[in-house]
Structure 1
């Protein structure tokens, strides 16, 4: 550990000691019971606090760009160009607010590592277990989707040179080997640079190729009609499915707890969030607008196939590392959830012990195998992923962050250093009445009123997307069965 960290740690400990000199014995007892920073061990052999603010920005960008971005242009055709952009911007604002809340919550409660810990803060231990399990399933499913999309790239490049499940297995093995080898996000962040660059360049190549073509590659012979829709001509079911897709493209807010937990300077998280999120939102809007304006109804989904076979191969070749990084990164975060959950509070969390490695390797193995099995077993995986995105994604991008805003309005916690006041304030309030107490925040001025209104807007829109999106996706799954589009389990068919 370098000298600056030692000095900072010494100063922090000195400050706490000075504060405790002014406390009563009861206050000292309360202070000693306050949860400490999860990765604050002085003697830890593994450094989990190595992510710079630039690394955090690129991690945020990589979590946010990937599978959803490749399907985003087609949502403009369903929602209409202007409503599609407006809807995307609104969702981007909400997910940015959610990311801000999730990433900065640890400045008040430094023991938190995941949104499951936030569930405990809000709703008790039962909330932690329920939300934590849902969170892990969501992460593992997105990791599986990354493996599946990687197999699409392999199929496109090789012209279906092997069984699709073989390609999925290759992506699964690579996720396990690379994800296990790098235990901290600080070591894996450099992969995110490669991942973001690969996907962004691939999408831009496709967009430029679409602009250069006289007619869409997927258009039939003869006169064509792009059917550019300024305003929607969609049913409620189609619109909700498109909104769910847009939210899935911006739905990584819940993972920002883990990013903040491994930052060298978590107080710089907001800077990272603004840089990473702004880049992704601007890039998505620019590319999706260009492609939709040029290709119209002949957009492919994923979008990399919109400019013909040759450009498709080139784009997938460039995007392949980025798609593989998606599978690696989401597998890593999913496994890290159980790793921390099991070893929290023990010396094994940051020590190279047998238990440390056993839990870490086991967590990664279970995660990648789970993702592989889901990809193979579910015969309607794309619709199933949409179902998960509609049913689970809003919980982490809208509902829980909205409740966290209400919690902060009701509790009004000070910085983590002012430990006695926080303990006394939390003991004076029950686990549930903070929702009602949050309404009293209007007394604190117009800023608090805006936060209150914004929180309830996020919560209500989250529940609306859950109900509407789940209903729409369920009907889509039924339609897939009716028209015979559903394939068998562990299918070898070409998915490119």
Structure 2
């Protein structure tokens, strides 16, 4: 027994020493975040909240729930805009780069254990104000994503009930359900909801694919247009001549948005039992989303053709569409909840991590009240914006262009450069010149591509979204009972 205790003490000492070395490495290579040198999720209170409790597969489930939801429903229409071949290439291209950029985030987190959010990472890269700007951008992005899920829930209920109640009522109900599900303070609790979300989105997509495969809307459209019933008339390998630049790039933006789960990755890693297991969770996510995106986009577009709707669930016949929407309810709620949880967690950690009493880990009424208050205000803000902004969907496109492009691709490229280069006087130099190889040269080019992609997606996506607002104007009135 004494030998076992001695071995355990030795293991604890070794673990603490390794953590200290990682922290020292982080502080040597970049400025720290206001003196924070440890992961804020690490428990320092006896019998406190255990945030670092997820296994890799639980983290993978949460990541799938956060990423694969609304995005997949717009991909068939995006493919109908750009054509099947370019659409498939774009799905695989952005999927591959999203996989690599996620891996870089995991490496950056291991080198900087104190980083808990994109805001923390921004402070490591750009100092105090850089952290504030990027943190605010991350939180604003989540508010719009939360609002999007509230609005989608209202559309879902209107479809199922045939507008059985005012849209405002459905949006308030969606907000209330989301708030209740956000109340647990640990992501491990959400991992159980995420399993239901995973089954839900697979079920909804399967129902839609089977339904359009049986009804063949593309063939029906071809018959009505005098095409003799050949469904291929409305299934194009390449974009049609009348597709405008704005339409094409908005379709590309929808594909990018489908992979935009990266802003939450730092938070997910912080709540893993072993942060080094993150690549397993990332592989689970990327294999799941790339395969589902490709299959759903091609199959639904092939059978629905140019008449494919967005969300794709509406491509099925009315009765089947109601069934598909009903199956999709868990993923609509849970995906919004995961995003909302990460947004609230950013505020919670930022406000409480410096306290000597480690309030954020306590199981007291005060710590719970702060969490509930922040969650309530965040969901009310998301509901209010979704209700008031008449061009909410286009505003979501603007926030995606401004933020998702950088969170998913650009910042990861900058993370890689910060880990491999250091500033000396007025120029940057390789941190360890002796370890440079041809592989590092390839990675340098890959990360330059990531940054260039973010610049292009940000600037051109912003232009396309603003042009869409000018073209279509307001799509709904504030506090309207119509969908």
- Whether TM-score is above 0.5 comes out as yes
SS at match of 1:161: coil
Q: Deviations over 1:77-127 (max 9, x none)?
A: 111111111111111112111211223322111111111111011111111
Q: Return the alpha-carbon distance in structure 1 between the equivalents of residues 351 and 5 of structure 2.
A: 27
Q: Which residue of 1 aligns with 2:104?
A: 101
Q: Return the alpha-carbon distance in structure 2 between the equivalents of residues 80 and 302 of structure 1.
A: 18
Q: Deviations over 1:303-359 (max 9, x none)?
A: 001011011000001001111112221111111110011111331020123442232
Q: Which residue of 2 aligns with 1:36?
A: 38
Structure 1 range deviating more: 223-232 or 207-216: 223-232
Alignment of 1:216-365 (within 5 A): 216=218, 219=221, 222=224, 223=226, 226-233=233-240, 234-346=243-355, 347-365=358-376
Deviation at 1:158, TM superposition (A): 0.5
Q: Deviations over 1:131-186 (max 9, x none)?
A: 00000010111011111111111111110011111101101111111211x11001
Q: Return the alpha-carbon distance in structure 1 between the equivalents of residues 19 and 296 of structure 2.
A: 54
What root-mean-square deviation, in Å, do the aligned CA atoms of Structure 1 and Structure 2 show? 2.7
SS at match of 1:264: coil
Q: Which residue of 2 aligns with 1:90?
A: 93
- The counterpart of 2:186, out of the listed 180, 184, 187, is 184
Structure 1 429/80 Cα, relative in aligned 2: closer, same or farther at 3 Å?
A: same
Deviation at 1:66, TM superposition (A): 0.8
Q: Which residue of 1 aligns with 2:78?
A: 75
SS at match of 1:392: helix
Deviation at 1:441, TM superposition (A): 6.6
- The counterpart of 1:65, out of the listed 52, 65, 68, is 68
Q: Which residue of 1 aligns with 2:13?
A: 13
SS at match of 2:163: coil
- The counterpart of 1:410, out of the listed 411, 421, 425, is 421
Contact 2:352 2:359 in 1 (8 A): yes
SS at match of 2:414: helix
Deviation at 1:5, TM superposition (A): 13
Report the TM-score, using the length of structure 2 for normalisation: 0.89
Structure 1 146/441 Cα, relative in aligned 2: closer, same or farther at 3 Å?
A: farther
Structure 1 461/312 Cα, relative in aligned 2: closer, same or farther at 3 Å?
A: same
Q: Return the alpha-carbon distance in structure 2 between the equivalents of residues 18 and 71 of structure 1.
A: 45
Q: Return the alpha-carbon distance in structure 2 between the equivalents of residues 170 and 5 of structure 1.
A: 53
- The counterpart of 1:146, out of the listed 139, 146, 149, is 149
Q: Deviations over 1:215-244 (max 9, x none)?
A: 449849723564222122333222211111
Structure 1 279/409 Cα, relative in aligned 2: closer, same or farther at 3 Å?
A: same
Q: Does 1:490 align with 2:482?
A: no
- The counterpart of 1:381, out of the listed 392, 401, 415, is 392
Structure 1 405/316 Cα, relative in aligned 2: closer, same or farther at 3 Å?
A: same
SS at match of 2:71: coil
SS at match of 1:345: coil
Report the TM-score, using the length of structure 1 for normalisation: 0.87
Structure 1 58/448 Cα, relative in aligned 2: closer, same or farther at 3 Å?
A: same
Contact 1:60 1:277 in 2 (8 A): no
Q: Return the alpha-carbon distance in structure 2 between the equivalents of residues 251 and 9 of structure 1.
A: 42
Q: Return the alpha-carbon distance in structure 2 between the equivalents of residues 212 and 101 of structure 1.
A: 43
Structure 1 7/268 Cα, relative in aligned 2: closer, same or farther at 3 Å?
A: farther
Q: Which residue of 1 aligns with 2:458?
A: 466
Q: Does 1:444 align with 2:447?
A: no
Structure 1 349/19 Cα, relative in aligned 2: closer, same or farther at 3 Å?
A: closer
Contact 1:73 1:288 in 2 (8 A): yes
Q: Deviations over 1:466-490 (max 9, x none)?
A: 1111101111111112xxx622111
Structure 1 55/232 Cα, relative in aligned 2: closer, same or farther at 3 Å?
A: same
